[in-house]
Amino acid sequence: MKQLLLTILTSLPLLATTLTLGQTIPSDYHLVWADEFTADGRPDSTNWNFEHGFVRNHEAQWYQPDNAYQKDGLLIIEARQADRPNPLFDENSSNWRTARKTIDYTSACLTTRGKFDFLYGRLEIRARIPVGYGAWPAIWTLGSWCEWPSCGEIDLMEFYRVDGVPHILANAAWGNDTHWSAVWNSRKTPFQHFLDIDPFWPSRFHVWRMDWDETAIRIYLDDELLNEIPQSQTVNGSIGGHVSPFHHPQYILLNLALGGDNGGTILDSCLPMRYEIDYVRVYQLSK
């Protein structure tokens, strides 16, 4: 059924098409890239790369491909407990990646870097996210034309606890005059807002969407606008050449982190956690 829908979307690019959960694609958009995760097994290697090891933000998980698989039309990223030696361990190291003696948790991060990126259009992801203690799932994009954050970062979705209170975030970041120091436009919506709309919200799938053009980045959740970021504000400092990174292509990342700088305390009884993605679709204006 999902493959049939993808065929219809691709063959009828100029027609307004009603999608799952009532999402409607404007008649002047057409599908340019998608993964519907229809085949059981490993994710499509022509679409996705994997990150490896301890990567960023002092997070607790070791990233590895084994924690991502496709089943029943879904991409499943699973965070699990582990107990094995850290192969990078150095007892004399002060680096957080190599100072850890053991790997206590594993998860996966998938990216399209080097395989697909895009400039402007609509990115849409339907997913069900874990909300247990320590969970930090994300849908985001990065540029690859220069160093972070001058390359630009767009977070369609992050979930984590802010001062112990669960929030869903929609953000963008760009560079200033200092290496690896970001300027953020961040909107944090208390998770209670979504529970007030639907007390069964965590058990359901939801649609995150980014509409991106030359003037602004708009991030939606189930058609509710979470953040609007004018391009006039997203100007890099000297390191990024005083230009907006969001006039350059971005690639896609999907990951489930644990703990670290923002994920908070991990409750082992919440593991394993499953982050389930139904589809990823990119649309652009028809020429």
CATH of the domain at 96: 2.60.120.200
Cα distance between residue 86 and residue 203, in whole Å? 34
Nearest to 249 by CA among 115, 157, 139: 115
- The amino acid present at 40, given as its one-letter code, is D
Q: Is residue 5 situated within a structural domain? A: no
Q: Is residue 9 situated within a structural domain? A: no
Nearest to 210 by CA among 123, 127, 140: 123
Q: Is residue 56 situated within a structural domain? A: yes
Q: Is residue 60 situated within a structural domain? A: yes
Q: Is residue 64 situated within a structural domain? A: yes
Cα atoms in the Cβ-side hemisphere of radius 13 Å centred on 17 = 18
Cα distance between residue 183 and residue 213, in whole Å? 20
Q: Is residue 23 situated within a structural domain? A: no
Q: Is residue 2 situated within a structural domain? A: no
What is the predicted pLDDT for the residue at 18? 38
What is the predicted pLDDT for the residue at 25? 81
Domain that holds residue 173: 31-285
Q: Is residue 16 situated within a structural domain? A: no
Question: Phi/psi class of residue 121: alpha, beta or left (left: φ > 0; alpha: ψ in -120 to 50)?
Answer: left
Do 125 and 207 contact (CB within 8 A), yes or no? yes
Q: In the chain, how many domains are there? A: 1
- Please list the pLDDT of the chain residue by residue as tens digits (287 residues): 554 444 434 343 333 333 444 467 888 899 999 999 999 999 999 999 999 999 999 999 999 999 999 999 999 999 999 999 999 999 999 999 999 999 999 999 999 999 999 999 999 999 999 999 999 999 999 999 999 999 999 999 999 999 999 999 999 999 999 999 999 999 999 999 999 999 999 999 999 999 999 999 999 999 999 999 999 999 999 999 999 999 999 999 999 999 999 999 999 999 999 999 999 999 999 87
Longest dimension (CA), the chain: 62
Residues of the chain by 3-state class (helix, strand, coil), percent to 5: 15, 45, 40
